[in-house]
Chains A and B, each alone.
Chain A
Amino acid sequence: MTAATELWAYRNLIYNLTQRELRSRYKKSILGWAWSLINPASTLLIYTLVFGVIFGAKSPVAGNGHTAVFALYLFAGLIIWNYFQGIVSGSISALQSAGPLLNKVYFPAACPAIAHVFTVVLQALIEGSILALIMIGLGNVSFTLILFPVVLVFLGLFALGLGLVVSVYNVYLRDVGYLVSIGMNLLFYSTPIVYQITQVPESKYGIPLRAIINANPLTKFVGLSRDAFYFLQWPSLMTFVGVIIISLVTFVLGWLIFIRKARNVTEEL
């Protein structure tokens, strides 16, 4: 794969692009890096109020046998969602904003999106660490925590595969970007993040609702994250292998489509 060796040759560019994004992100703001905590904290607060308090969503009992905090159960899922959405949406804007540069200098068009992934990884690690610290405080912690970085790796590949495809099609047809934001909304509620999968009826109007939601790969990733942080249990081998296969296949397919379509992408940017 020459494209892969080429990417390796440009690893320093990816590193520098990541650094550029991180350095310029919170320039000119007083709170600076605190924003990377305030943002998820506010989402968590709103969802807890709406779904936990108003809708009265219940959370299952955690791995230590007594803790049952909806906010934490929610947070374990939200981290996954933020990570996924950050990569897919970010890939679109990464390619778009690299347009002027790609017209002046040659470098692999995937570099900006990959660099963006690293910034999202960092954000997820920060959020994960905070959740882990809280869990340690509550005495709900186990070796299952090492699942989390593994999940980040495979979900990262999965999301990047999707992100590359939508980003390159979005250059040719701007509608793709709009469709993606609608799709994201739909996907968020098709993933058991603010609810539990057990609350979903097996079928309604002849539609096998629960099976559909179970087939959503993100459901699996959210489940793995909750296994790691909340339930402190190891997933079944089947689930684990399934997730790995889906991730790798999505990534490779996405990558191949991107390479094919990115050939003439510069003229369209």
Chain B
Amino acid sequence: MAESGPAIVVDDVSKRFRLYKERAGSVKEMFTKFRNERYDDFWAVKEVSLQVEHGQVYGLVGHNGSGKSSLLKMMAGILKPTMGEIRTDGRISALLELGAGFHPDLTGRENIYLNASILGLQRKEVDGLFDEIVDFSGLSGFIDSPVKHYSSGMFVRLGFSVAVHVNPQILIIDEVIAVGDEEFQRRCFEHLYKLRNNGVTIVMVTHSLQIVRQMCDRAAWLDHGQVMCEGPAVDVVHEYLDKVNLAEAQRLEVEDELRAEMDRAAEIAQRVSTSSADRPIVLREVEVLDENKRPTRLFRTAEPMTVRFHYESRADVPEPIFSFAIESQNGVLVANPALPVSRRPEMLRSGRGFIDYEVPSLAVGPGEYSLSAAIHDKDAMIVLDKRERILTFRVDTDEPIAGIMDLLGEWQDPEIGEGTTA
């Protein structure tokens, strides 16, 4: 595919939808109401221009209602632009919904032929691809049963399998890959990489910035139907993160406040049952600080971080153990540092104070993490105070990292000769 022009040109495209106040649908309304009263205009896409070159993988990001799906549908020819023009060069296959057009009463085999023809293939072409499609879907044992007996996973697998095998020159994907089991997802991505290596142009809408960074060459960030930023995928993701994180940080803080509120209520309830004498020390607050010791909720991998415990002891406490746990969003315990014997104060005097735990370089991958904090007595037998998930913070990276950790290592230049393994 060495065409010279771009694969898709979006030229100053706008799309208007009419939001009917009352569903138009009767002749009476035509006479009883003036036309302009029946609907509101809603511009889903406003004056968008962009170009996708042949062989490029192009990502569209933005939150719900930003117009990315409308734009995608216009590229696929399903919707027509109200203004402007979209020019495409090459056969388009759109994966807006997997298994769209499957007829429940027909068998898998019949549906493969039907679905492939919806995507524009001739019968002979399907004959040639049939075995490959069935193999990829892994449904050879069920191919002659009606698809209504398929599980939803099987349904989707067959749909994806057909859609990616029609040899598109341009593939348009709308957040459909997040389906099926892990094994199938992995194969989907492998197949997409293969298509990309074969020079297929891919345009995808996704919420996963990870995917954009990993797969896309270029990207556009849409907000309220307008392009906020367009360029190399990594730059767009950065720009997007910076803006979105502001809002995100505010959201996390609000959530924490709510949680603190609830904790306080729980604490009061607990205080009623246990006398304060049993609780010689309480955690007043826990903060995470950036390198300038300013509270924040957003970090980048390998940045310094400080965890600060504010406590109040009502009596002298001998050798208290401060500890905290960091959990990833899916509940994996990332770290659980506790104050070691060597650093414990022999006696913590009554009064207010704070203690810091300094992380020189936060070596975790991108994601949201929650922090729980606790104070135990010197034998680690009695819980003096404990706060589950007292705060949440977020980590982003510049370069994509797979896995929960960044080992912070550095690659060295290759050297001639044998290493220690010899």
- By a beta-carbon cutoff of 8 Å, the part of chain A in contact with chain B is 9-13, 15-17, 19-20, 23-24, 27-28, 100-107, 172-175, 263-264, 266-267
Contact = CB atoms under 8 A, between A and B. Distances in A.
B25 A174 contact: yes
A266 B105 CA distance: 25
Contacts of A267: 17, 79
B407 interface: no
B79 A105 contact: no
A105 B114 contact: no
19 contacts: A9-B120, A12-B121, A16-B114, A16-B118, A20-B114, A23-B105, A23-B110, A27-B105, A28-B105, A104-B100, A105-B76, A105-B119, A106-B78, A107-B118, A173-B27, A174-B25, A263-B80, A264-B80, A267-B79
Contacts of A264: 79-80
B100 A105 contact: yes
B113 interface: yes
Kindly name the residue among A17, A172, A263 whose own CB sees the greatest number of chain B CB atoms within 10 A.
Answer: A17
Contacts of B318: none
Contacts of A100: 100
B250 interface: no
A12 B94 contact: no
A100 B123 CA distance: 24
Kindly name the residue among A13, A104, A264 whose own CB sees the greatest number of chain B CB atoms within 10 A.
Answer: A104
Interface in B160-179: none
Given A9-B120, A266-B78, 4 more contacts: A15-B123, A20-B110, A105-B100, A106-B92
Contact of A173 (B26, B78, B106, B113): B26
A7 to B, nearest CB: 12
Interface in B247-262: none
B244 interface: no
A12 B123 contact: yes
Nearest to A262: B80
B24 A173 contact: yes
A267 B113 CA distance: 27
B100 A101 contact: yes
Contacts of A106: 76-78, 92, 94
A19 B106 CA distance: 10
Interface of B: 17, 24-27, 30, 76-80, 92, 94, 96-97, 100-101, 103, 105-106, 110, 113-114, 117-123
A251 B103 CA distance: 30
Given A105-B94, A263-B80, A13 B120 contact: yes
Given A102-B78, A264-B80, A20 B120 contact: no
Nearest to B119: A105
A48 B78 CA distance: 49
A101 B114 CA distance: 12
A16 B26 contact: no
B74 to A, nearest CB: 10
A102 B122 CA distance: 19
Nearest to B111: A20
A234 to B, nearest CB: 40
Contacts of A9: 120
A20 B76 contact: no
Kindly name the residue among B26, B80, B101 whose own CB sees the greatest number of chain A CB atoms within 10 A.
Answer: B101
A104 B25 contact: no
A173 B120 contact: no
Nearest to B100: A104
Contacts of B26: 173-175
A191 B119 CA distance: 42
Given A20-B103, A104-B97, A15 B117 contact: yes
Contacts of B17: 267
B112 to A, nearest CB: 10
10 closest A-B pairs by CB = A104-B100, A106-B77, A13-B117, A16-B117, A12-B117, A104-B97, A24-B105, A16-B114, A174-B25, A104-B96
A9 B122 CA distance: 8
Contacts of B110: 19-20, 23
Contact of B118 (A13, A23, A28): A13
A105 B103 contact: no
B108 to A, nearest CB: 14
A101 to B, nearest CB: 5
A175 B29 CA distance: 11
A138 B182 CA distance: 70
Given A13-B120, A175-B26, A101 B101 contact: yes
B27 A103 contact: no
Contacts of B101: 101, 104-105
A20 B118 CA distance: 12
Contacts of A10: 117, 120
Nearest to B122: A12
